[in-house]
Structure formats: structure tokens, C-alpha cells
Amino acid sequence: MNFRNILVWAILLVLLLALFNMLQTPRQAEPANQLNYSQFMDNVEAGRVAQVTIEGQRIRGELTNGTQFRTEVPPDAGVTAALRQNDVQITASTPEEGGMNIWGILLSWFPMLLLIGVWIFFMRQMQGGGKGAMGFGKSKAKLLTEKTGRVTFDDVAGIDEAKEELSEIVEFLKDPSKFQRLGGKIPKGALLIGPPGTGKTLTARAVAGEAGVPFFTISGSDFVEMFVGVGASRVRDMFEQAKKNAPCIIFIDEIDAVGRSRGAGLGGGNDEREQTLNQLLVEMDGFEANEGIILIAATNRPDVLDPALLRPGRFDRQVVVPNPDVTGREKILKVHMRDVPLSDDVDPKVIARGTPGFSGADLANLVNEAALMAARRNKRLVSMADFEEAKDKVMMGPERRSMVMSEKEKTLTAYHEAGHAIVALNVPASDPVHKATIIPRGRALGMVMQLPEGDKMSMTYQEMTSRLAIVMGGRIAEEIKFGKENVTSGAASDIQQATRLARAMVTQWGFSDEVGPVDYGEGQGEVFLGQQIVQSKSVSAETAAKIEKEVKALIETGLSEARRILTEKNADWEALSQGLLEYETLSGDEINALLRGEPPVRDTTVPPKPSSGDTSSGAVPVIDDDDDDVAVPGGLEPRPGPA
């Protein structure tokens, strides 16, 4: 872009120099000697004029000494007779007054024309890449032909239900008579709903690739401008283009940018976004039918969309594109591993079982990180050890081995993390311990990772209370080992996670007999000026006091349970703490072996592998010792069950 700007200014400079030269050239070509009429006649009578050229009342000529001259003569002066008497060579020519005037006009108007051209150029640049000064309201939708890089359903994995819903649209586009003979009508729209990274945009491209029809793509933000009416004009123009290419597909990504609920703006609801939404509603299902145009939209915020946009007749189908399950993750990994040379020990099924909660984008990033790690080590094949290390990096952050920790901090971190691990191994309901480390990763000084044995959709009360004990295990470990007066701030994120879990148990999930099964959580509220207004439910002071009392009681119960376990299992806790100080990182199998009195066997050339029971599980919950009080992504915050 910088080179382009330099080129534009260079062209302007050259044009200005050319203009200067053009204006200067006539002056340089003029004769040097300007004579008045009297001087001219004196030279004629003295015989010093050799030849002249007469152009009306203008005379150009040459003296006998070679000097050029010019002069103006009055009308009817008898100059020709005087020239003939003195033997002057006479040449007559007709002045081209019209041509000279046009050339002069062009020269005089050239600077203004140049300025107008420069102004038009910059206006075209400001209006989005050459659509012209009158193209401000034109649609920015791009028509994709997909001659190369065509995406089909074979390139989309892990969302079988979504593909089944959309495959019917593809079949309708290919053979509409199959459905029309039974009275079926082509769906007008399909809304893809799901968290970020699940493949909504890729799925829409696959629909276009399978159907083989024109595919228009545009972002919701491309409709929104500072001028009222521009977005509506672009919607109209987009559907006009689609009608010319029907049957076709229009894909609007992030439709929540333009489809938010109406009635929350200022000025009577006449802002630009609402005008654009109104036009979109009319084009999708108004008086004029748009046959053969299917609108596919994607969003991860369906709760903020206008109800009129979601009704049948506009978006007939709402297709949920969720995070994949273990089978879907295995299929997605196989898709991304197509172009990666793998060693024989790589098992996509094991990796899939170790990554619950990962989206398709997360899995693509995991495969890429493993390939990069293998490339840095000059390997020819990507091994399972590379995938394990890449998984740790993605979930826990990169190791900060350059960070220097004092022996005191290292010891405190080891006992803190060992406390988490020992409590996790002895509570009634807990996920297997996958790994414990005191090597700083990301913003945490150390952490214990637990991996569930399968995909979890909900949590039981016993699992929640066990989770509270595990979270508070680090704080109790510091208190027992170093004394209450030496407890550090390292458990700040643990306390935050425990408080969130306990408050959700009391206010949302009804796990308190004192408060009862009443939802006291915060409401979703409504959208106002693009922001969500969170409306807290009215809670009396007495009820709020009960809630705080119950939350505190749950956390203190977790503290008591963690203290009991660490007191009874003091020998195991000490052994694991010393093991962490010696080895820094221990896998699940190594922790179990260490507690049986068997020292871990380390291969210095290969990173430690997780336990067999743990590799079959997935990775999200992380207990971290973080002095910055920042929770590691995917921490202990529970995932509520399906609504």
C-alpha cells in the first residue's frame, strides 16, 4: 500500500512538471527582438530587412545581419508597397486563430482538470476500491466461483446433523422437481448457530461447492455505514444481483452485526442498523417473492437477533453447529492430518479423546502446532510425542523455563500443586489427574491438569462438592506446610473459581435447601445501543444474606474436606511434593507409580507421556497457581447441562 501511494504522488509530480514545461515553451520560442512600427519602417527604408512573413497585422522577419524580429503594423499602412520598393522577400500566411485559441484554452484549463481528476481518484479510493463516485450504495457482496480450492462436504467433519440438514438444500437446488411435485417449497433461509471456530463459514462454502450454484458472500458489518440508508441500499442491490444469478446462495457472516433486535435505539428507532434490518426482512419475505435465492447466515449470538428475522418464512431452519464430540473430533483431526506426514505411533482417536471441548479451529491449530514443533526439531515425520507437547502448549500455555524461581518459591509451588493432585486422587467423584507441573506456563507458576474420561454435558452434586475440595486443596496445603501466617496470594484464582462454582450451585442450580430451587442468577436483559443490559433479579436483603451464607458454607465444606484428605494422606502428599521438586513435571502414570514407591523412569529423548487412562480422556479443567490472579482458559468453571 505504501508503494502504491508513492507511485500516485510520483505521477502527480510528473504531470505538474509537464504542465510547467508546456507553459514555459511558448515563451522560449518567441523572437528575442520586438520592434515597434517606427523602428521597423526605419530598417526597411535603410535596407536592413532581408525577408518577412506577414500574418494579418503581425510581421515576423529577419534582418540582413541574421537577427530575428517581430512587430505589429496598423491597418492600411501600405507596408507591402514599402517592402517591395526596398527588395524585401515577402511571405504571406493566414493566422490559425481558431487552433491557437483552443490550445490556449486547454493550457489554461489543464490545472483545473488535473485537480478534478485527482479529487475523483481519491473519492474512488475512499468509497471502497473503484466502484465509482455513484457506487456508494452498491452491494459489497463477492461472487465466488470456486474454480480452485472448492470445498465440499468431504472437507467438513464432526457436524453430521448440520450437514444432513443442509444437504437437503443442496438436493433441492440440484433437482427442485423432486420436492415440488409433492407441494414442497425451497427453504428461504438457514441460520447456522454455534460457538466460534466450529466451522459455520466452512459449512456454508461446502453447501455452495456441493450445489454448484453461484455463491455470494458478505459480512454483516459491510451493510453498516455512518450514512442512514446506505445499508438498505446495499441490501436491495445485493438481492438484485442475486436475482440475475438465481438459483444462487447468499451467505451473510456474523449477521448479528445488522440483525440485532429493534426498538432499543434512540431517535424513534430510525438509525442505520434498523433501516438495514427492515430492508433485509422485506427482501427475504415481502410482497415480492425472491424465488431461487437461499440465504444462509451464521452467528454465535442468536439471543440478540430480532424475532422477526428468526421466524419461518425467513429463516426456515436454524441449524446448530456445536463443538464436536469425540467421534467428530477424530474425523476433524483426520481431515487436517491429510497433508501432514505422520509417524506410525500417531492415533487420531487417542488425540480426540484427549481434547474434549475443542472446536474445529482448535483442532486445526493443534495439528499445526505439532507440525511446527516437529519441523523445529528437523524431523521428517510428526510423532505422537509432538502432538502431546502441542496439546500441553495449547491448553496450558508455553513453558517459561527462562523464568528464574527461588528455591522457596519452587518449594511452595510444589506443595501447592501436590495438594491439588492428592485431593483430586481421593475425593469421591473426580476426573483422572493427567499431569502435574511446577514449570511456569503462560501466566501460571504451576498447575495440575485433570482430564475427563468422556464428554460431559452436566455435573452431579457430588462432582461439584469434590471440585470445591480439589480447588481449595492448594490453599490448605500451604497452610498445613508453612503455617497460616505464611499463606501466599497464589490461590487467588482458585478462590475465584470456587466462588463462581458455589454461587452457581446456590443461585442457579438449586443445590441449597435454605434458598431453595429458585433462580437468583442474573438475567440476560435486552440489547441497547449494541450492548447488553444485564438486569439483576430483584433479591431482598434477607435473601442475599442467605445466598452469601450458603456460598460460604459450601466453600468452607470444601476446605474441611481438603484438610481432612491432606492430613490423612500426608505421606503421599510429601512424596508427590518431593517428586515434583525433583522431576518438575509428572504424568498421571508417574504420579501413581511415585505414590506406590516406584521412581519414574525417564527417557531423556522423549517427553513424558500421559497415563493410559488419561490419554483416553480429554482436556479442559485446569487448576493453576497463578500469582497474577488470572484464570487459565478452560479452568474449573462448570459447564451447565442442556437447557
Mean pLDDT by 10 residues, the chain (643 residues): 63 69 51 74 82 81 83 76 77 60 66 74 56 51 60 75 79 77 80 86 80 80 69 82 82 85 57 79 74 84 86 85 86 89 89 84 91 91 89 77 75 90 91 84 77 77 92 90 85 88 91 86 48 55 90 93 91 89 85 84 51 36 39 33 31
Nearest CA among 521, 518, 508 for reference residue 459: 508
Measured over the CA atoms of residue 528, residue 532, residue 538 and residue 540, the dihedral's sign is negative
For CATH 1.20.58.760, the residue range(s) in the chain are 407-625
Q: Which residue has the cell 451447565?
A: 640
Cα–Cα distance, 262 to 277 (Å, whole number): 8
- Answer whether CATH 3.40.50.620 is correct for domain 326-395: no
pLDDT for position 464: 92
For CATH 3.30.720.210, the residue range(s) in the chain are 2-98
Identified catalytic residue from 254, 417, 479, 590: 417
Backbone dihedral angles phi then psi of residue 305, each to the nearest 5 degrees: -75, 150
pLDDT for position 47: 81
pLDDT for position 289: 64
CA angle 441, 446, 451 (to 5 degrees): 90
pLDDT for position 262: 76
pTM to 2 decimals? 0.62
**Which own/partner contact pairs does 544-550 have at CB distance under 8 Å and 24+ positions apart?**
546/514, 546/515, 547/503, 547/506, 547/507, 547/512, 547/515, 547/520, 549/514, 550/502, 550/506, 550/512, 550/514, 550/515
For CATH 3.40.50.300, the residue range(s) in the chain are 142-320
pLDDT for position 20: 65
Question: Fold for domain 142-320?
Answer: Rossmann fold (3.40.50)
60 bridge partner residues: 53, 70
Question: Fold for domain 407-625?
Answer: Methane Monooxygenase Hydroxylase; Chain G, domain 1 (1.20.58)
User: Can you read off the three cell numbers belonging to residue 474?
Assistant: 492448594
Are residues 422 and 565 in contact, defined by beta-carbon separation less than 8 angstroms? yes
Active site residue 62: no
pLDDT for position 465: 92
Pick the CATH number of 2-98 from 2.40.128.110, 3.40.50.150, 3.30.720.210, 1.10.1040.20: 3.30.720.210
Contacts of 278 (CB under 8 A, 6+ apart): 232, 262
pLDDT for position 285: 78
Nearest CA among 181, 183, 201, 184 for reference residue 192: 201
pLDDT for position 618: 35
pLDDT for position 30: 46
